[in-house]
Amino acid sequence: MSPLLIVFIFVGFVALVTAGVASVELVRRRRVVSRVSGGNAPGLGATAVLRPETRRTKGADFIERLQESQKENETLNSKLVQAGYDSPTAAAIYFLMRLSCLVMLPLVTLLIMPRTDFRLYVLAMFVSVVLGLILPMALLDRTIRLRQERIRRAVPDALDLLVVCVEAGVSLDAGILRVAREIGLVHTDLAHELHVVNRLTNAGVPREQALRGLWQRTGVEDIRALVSSLIQSEKWGTSVATVLRVAAETLRRKRRQYAEKKAKQAPLKMTFPLLFFILPALFVVIMGPAVATIIKEFSRI
């Protein structure tokens, strides 16, 4: 398959997409004209009346598109922060990675895929394009999930240390800083987030807002419940140490229950590898010599 034919196919695909978008826009405009004119075909006067309305609709559509793109950018930035990439250039690097995957995977497939079978070649190109679109997002979601799991496991240990600091007479802000320093070597993700909370409070951000930001940057539901309890205890004047101790016991019990759930799921997950990979090998090793002996004995008859 020549590269010129591939270019023609790509141009034809872009033309079809453009034609579809144009037809949808035309149908939408006709519906607007029909709705405003009461279902009658608009004449010259109706066209003159509808010009400001059409301009207003285009401007409103443009503003809505800008708002949607801004929401998508905010969602992407939130995901990058939850994955641990909170640098100002994280979004640009992620965009470059997506663009590189979208370009390099089809290019590598174009170079290494043999052109003997046209259907196989087109299928490989389609799979490479789909992988180029899905792979960066899948890797980002996996990174977020693994980081949230590490933070979820680290929260009970951090709360135990924080309870000790608060009961010793240390303030909550100083205790957060001390806990972040102590768990920095074992739980780096949670330590980084606690350092961020300490820097925000030192910069003048209210503690409630800084604690809510801790949950927004991690996305862990356990931290959300903990932050809500700390904010309520601060508003009502209850003991922070008691709240932290109860939260630590609750989270440790949830962690133990989650580990028991994973242990109970292990036999079910081992069924298919055992059935398709381990048992056939065992049957070959155990029954192989017996089958060979039986075949040998029957061949003498």
CA distance 88 to 85: 9
Whether the Cβ atoms of residue 115 and residue 121 lie closer than 8 Å to each other: yes
Structure tokens, 3: 């590269």
Tens-digit pLDDT profile for residues 8-52: 565 566 566 566 655 656 666 666 555 544 444 444 344 434 444
Cβ pair 165, 179 in contact under 8 A = yes
Looking at the whole model, is its pTM more than 0.75?
Answer: no
pLDDT in tens, 49-85: 444 444 445 555 545 554 455 556 778 888 888 888 8
Tell me how far apart the alpha carbons of residues 61 and 28 are, in angstroms, rounded to a whole number: 12
Domain ranges of the chain: 1-59, 147-263
Q: Tell the residue number behind the tokens 């309305």, with chain if given.
A: 53
With a cut of 90, say whether residue 172 has pLDDT above it.
no
